[in-house]
Structure 1
Amino acid sequence: MNPYLQEVVDLHVLIEALFARGEGKVEAMIERFHPEFSMVTPNGLQVSLKDVATLFAQRAGSQPGLAIELIGMESLAQWPEGALIRYQETHRLPGQNAKTRISTALFSVQGGRILWRHLHETWAA
């Protein structure tokens, strides 16, 4: 699998484990992000890596039964130092309506590591 697409899968496996079962360490997840990471949430908020770290810590174990499904993963562009990836992500919790977003992620390669540099999420219609 394309290494950037694999990174999307790998991080979402970690997010599901953390949110659903409280498994994993927030610090290990944050190491996957560029220090200047930025994000636009589905509601239009602009957040930093510090905000994401806080969110991860607050949500640890808070969503029992959470399942995250990824579909439509594709590389929109790749170059030697990074890539632009699009995917659709659906969160399902028992007894609740599924929430689906379409995401575009910008990755950079530094020191041989793929790092999340920017993420833009939009609620799917």
Structure 2
Amino acid sequence: MPSEKELTAHQSVIELHQWIEDVFTGRAGHPSTLEKLLSSFSASFSMITIKGQLIGLAEVETLFRQQSSGRPELRIEIDACETLAETAESVVCRYRETHHWQGSVQSRWSLAIIDIDNGQPVWRYLHETAIAQ
């Protein structure tokens, strides 16, 4: 039976990617969604992109702001979410993320460390690895 922290982390994976989709597609309300999205990340957040680059929160924020409304047809699917580890403070999740955009489909495996602070998920780390087509 999944713990409350685990359920919170898995729900955060789904919600965060819905918010990303909303921001990139420019759906109504996306400026407030962008702020909600950015507040989901730790100040020390870092990630490894599918191109192997190490970036921090400032670069992620710049990406979201620059890409806002830039991909109106984007659809993101999340599946295969599972917990790999759980500590007193965090949950480590692996999930598959699939982007549908302009007739192409790109998938990646993602590994996230999500801290749970007073019941709220805060993303600390993300590592993305492209899945060969």
Instruction: Give TM class, smaller chain.
Output: over 0.9
Rounded Cα–Cα distance in structure 2 between residues aligned with 1:111 and 1:71: 26
Q: 1:1-125, aligned counterparts within 5 Å?
A: 2-22=7-27, 23-25=30-32, 26-95=34-103, 97-125=104-132
Runs of 5+ unmatched residues, structure 1: none
Kindly tell me the number of residue pairs found equivalent between the two proteins.
124
After TM superposition, the runs of 4+ consecutive aligned structure 1 residues lying more than 6 A away are none
- Structure 2 stretches lacking a partner, 5+ long: 1-5
> Which amino acid in the other structure matches residue 102 of structure 1?
W
TM-score by length of 2: 0.87
Q: Which amino acid aligns with 2:50?
A: P
Q: Matches of 2:68 and 2:45 in 1, distance apart?
A: 21
In 2, Cα distance between the equivalents of 1:92 and 1:52? 21
* Percent of aligned pairs sharing the same letter: 36
Asked if 2 retains the 8 angstrom alpha-carbon contact of 1:21 and 1:64, the reply is: yes
Contact 2:46–2:57 at 8 Å: present in 1 too?
Answer: yes
CA RMSD of aligned residues (A): 1.4
Matched residue SS, 2:44: strand
Between the aligned partners of 1:13 and 1:28, the Cα distance in structure 2 is 11
